[in-house]
Structure 1
Amino acid sequence: MLSDGMKYLETRLMFGMVPGLDSTRMICDALGNPERKFKSIHVVGTNGKGSTSFYLAGILQAHGLKAGLYTSPHLVSLRERIRVDDEPISEADLDRLLLQVKQAAESVSSAQAALGKPALEPTFFEVLTVAAFLYYAEKGVDVAVLEAGMGGRLDSTAVAGGGMAVVTGIGLEHTEVLGPTESAILREKMGVLGVPGEASGVVGDGAGKAFVLGGLGPDLLEEAREYATALGASIVVPEVRTEVKLPNLGRHYVENASLSLKAAELFLNAPDRAGKRYDDALSVKALATRSWAGRMQLLTGPDGNVRVILDGAHNSHAVRRLVQTLDEYYPGQKFHCLFGALKDKDLHEMLRLMMPHVSQWHVTRTPYTRFRELSDLQTEIESLGGHVASAGEMSETYIQGTLNASEGPLLITGSLYLIGSVVQILKNDFDGLNFFKKLAPSVNENH
């Protein structure tokens, strides 16, 4: 049975994603601006935001800071999205804070109506973001690492007005909202710290602010420098720390960890900050055991052998990273692959890239309507010369069947929502999924 807070949150699903800061600001104002009671670091980009945020929060925590972490989407439970020192928010706290946001939103809406203005109808993401602000303020965090949901300039996390933004890389995504080119998308994402020549309320101007940039080609990097200069912010482009060892396989995670290391260094060594200064050896040690779930994550059996490779490669850009990693760590090896994808993804390109690495395909879907039908997946795979060994709806029986059929590690990929379903089913079978054992499934806003 849903709690009252969760019932309210689910009523917000119908409003979809609405870029803009007005609703979030008005609700925060009504609640006494909880977002101003802690420092924030923003993380924006096309891919890699979640892992970068997770690594950064862990490094700050290792230095003795109480660190908040806000990420999306979740794999199993909404509680994953709002953490303090790696502990997810409790069901009771989440319910209580959602109802506080509801009350504040209704108060603002009544005031709007009295002025003849439209009712305030905050979105799912806006409500959850304000609940996170309230939680971090209550818990007295020293810093919150905030992953943007979409873009940056008009993403509700921007209301926190942090002094630093980590940009993980730029690709074409949400072009109908963020713009048709990588250049336009870059400006939207960097806008999380403000817009040159534009008064931006809580976000303020760029004085004393900093961007940590990764994954940008020469042209975009030059544009980023021009944007930062116009804003009055500084820019750091860290070197990739190839000596860093992570549980998540792949150079792209090393790149993300490198961004996190530099962001932590800048934050901890800021002239106006008291307390422990940045310790690189401590930071690298913290990363060595920090596994970002569902992203090139290896699940081992009792015998120590890898049984499952979980990777939420949900678009062609992410699949390229996946196959590069397979080439590096499993050269020449072909896998049984459990695959499911959403309707709005470039299925043909994703499958084409993966085809050389797959011996047998097992296609699946969850009950959510955005998933492609099994027949569509099978037709596309066979048109590329692949062999579909099985097709079935996602279930414990189907996963166990594919595990039994796979001679080596079973590769599971295609959608983060698929990964979430798999994690929920397998969480009691692998120590690598211990974080999820006490979490009950809840809906994602994009379903």
Structure 2
Amino acid sequence: MQNAGMEYLNSRLMFGMMPGLTSTRMLCDALENPQKKFKTIHVVGTNGKGSTSYYLSGILKAHGFKTALYTSPHLVSLRERIRVDDVPISDEDLDRYLLQVKDAADKVNAGRDASQQIEPTFFEVLTLVAFLHYANSGVEVAVLEAGMGGRLDSTAVANGSMAVVTSIGLEHTEVLGPTESAILKEKMAVLGEESLAGKTFVVGGLSQELLLEARQFASDRGADFVVPDIRKDVTLPNLGQHYVENASLSLAVAKQFIGSSYDDALAIRTLSTRSWAGRMQTLTDAFGKVRYILDGAHNSHAVKRLVETLSRYYPQQKFHCVFGALKDKDVGEMLKLMGPHVSHWHITKTPYPRFRELDDLRNLLAGLGLNVATEGELSRKYLDQVLAEAGEAPVLITGSLYMIGESVQALKNDYEGLAFFRGLDQTTNEHR
């Protein structure tokens, strides 16, 4: 039986995504502004936000700070999104804070006519829950991954003094603007739009043209601007140069935030053990053999990074690939990019209604001259079947973070790399 807090949260799904800070600010005031009780570092960008946030929170924790991490979406459980010192929020605290947010909304709406009442969205409610949890846990610094954009994202009300920009690409253009330049400005405005004296941007992954625009944005508002070098001495569990780039950003941010007590050797050691789940993550068996490679690449930009990484770490190798994707993704381009690296296509889907049907995937592959080896609903049984067919080679699972979440749920009890997820009950996932 679903508890009252989760019932309230799920009732918010009908409101979709509504960019803007009015509701969040009113509710923060009603909750006595929990977001003011800790320092905040914002992480914005098109790709790379989650890993950068995760790496950064680990470095801060290793330096003795009580550190919060807020990310989205989750892979298995909502509780993953809200962590303190790498521990996910408990079911009891999640329910309690959800009801506090509901009570605050009822209080704000009391006496207002229907046209003036606020209806917080799913993501806004979760952001407020995170603020309450962090404030009541005595968190010193929170690393907040923006959900969408920056200026109008509910995380912006925390009004931190530092922001990380990981990358810029065309996304949510109906809200963020039609060009990369417009999107960049929306994301950088997470720190505000007027004077930003005393605040700092740490920026990576931009073209030279966008980098000049970003620097000008910061300069016009009096903010500091840092473009760190990509480190050569970083070793990560996650495969791929893009994760080295994200880790380099996290190191630069930590150094700026911590100051003279920053220990680079400690930070590097911390990163060597920090695996961001489901993103170029290798799962090894008890004998140290890689059995699966999980990667949540779900758009063409991310697939380009995936195939670059496969070329580097597995040159000349072709994979048995378990592939599924959502209906709104450019799947044809994704398949075309991956084609040279796949020997056998195993197409799949989950019960989530936004997934492409198997007939659709089969037709897209056929149009590219590619054949389907097997197909079926994603399950542990299906993954075992593909693994057996692959023999000694690792199986690649990719195409959607939703599918990676289902795979993690199926495999978590048998691979130590997924131990974090044991004890977490599966909950539905929405990008809201």
State the TM-score, normalized to the length of structure 2: 0.98
Displacement of 1:112: 3.5
Matched, 1:266 2:253: no
Counterpart CA distance in 2 for 1:145 and 1:410 is 33
How many angstroms apart in 2 are the aligned matches of 1:320 and 1:242? 22
Partner of 1:273: none
Quick check: 1:307 aligned with 2:291? yes
The answer as to 2:170 corresponding to 1:172 is: yes
State the 1:445 CA deviation: 2.3
Q: Which residue of 1 aligns with 2:419?
A: 434
The offset of 1:111, in angstroms, is 4.5
Letter in 2 for 1:173: E
> Deviations 1:274-304 (Å, cap 9, x if unpaired)?
xx71110000000000000000000001121
Paired AA for residue 106 in structure 2: E
Distance (Å, rounded) in 2 between the aligned partners of 1:40 and 1:96: 23
1:88 is the counterpart of 2:72: no
Alignment pair present for 1:279 and 2:263? yes
Structure 2 counterpart of 1:72, one-letter code: S
Which of 121, 143, 146 is matched with 1:145 structurally? Answer: 143
User: Equivalent pairs: percent with the same residue?
Assistant: 67
Deviation at 1:440, TM superposition (A): 0.4
1:387 paired with 2:371, answer yes
Q: Does 1:77 align with 2:77?
A: yes
Equivalent residue letter for 2:53 = S
- 1:147 maps to amino acid: E
Q: Secondary structure at the match of 2:283?
A: strand
Please say if 1:410 is aligned against 2:395: yes
> Conserved in 2, the CA contact under 8 Å of 1:125 and 1:445?
no
Name 1:211's counterpart in structure 2.
201
Deviation at 1:118, TM superposition (A): 2.0
Tell whether the 8 Å contact from 1:427 to 1:437 is kept in structure 2 after alignment.
yes
Q: Structure 1 stretches (4+) deviating beyond 6 angstroms? A: none
Question: Cα RMSD over matched residues?
Answer: 1.0
User: What's the CA shift for 1:401?
Assistant: 1.0
* AA aligned opposite 2:125: V
What does residue 216 of structure 2 align with? 226
Q: Verify the 8 A CA contact 1:46 1:171 in the aligned structure 2.
A: yes
Q: Which amino acid aligns with 1:140?
A: G
Amino acid at match of 2:176: L
Q: Give distance in 1, aligned partners of 2:67 and 2:379.
A: 36
SS in 2 for 1:390: strand
> For 1:384-408, what per-residue CA distance to the aligned partner results, in whole angstroms no more than 9, with x for missing partners?
1222101111122211111111131
**Number of the residue aligned with 1:201:** none
Aligned residues of 1:359 and 1:387 also touching (Cα < 8 A) = no
Give the Å deviation of 1:117: 4.5
| Residue identity matched to 1:46 | T
The one-letter amino acid paired with 2:329 is K
Q: C-alpha separation between the residues in 2 aligned to 1:301 and 1:117?
A: 58
**In 2, Cα distance between the equivalents of 1:263 and 1:190?**
15
Q: How do 1:53-68 residues align onto structure 2 when only pairs under 5 Å count?
A: 53-68=53-68
Structure 1 stretches lacking a partner, 5+ long:
197-204, 270-275
Q: Which amino acid aligns with 1:223?
A: E
Q: Within 1, Cα distance between the matches of 2:51 and 2:106?
A: 35
Give secondary structure in 1 for the equivalent of 2:301: helix
Instruction: Give SS of 2:261's match.
Output: coil
Of 346, 357, 368, the match for 1:362: 346
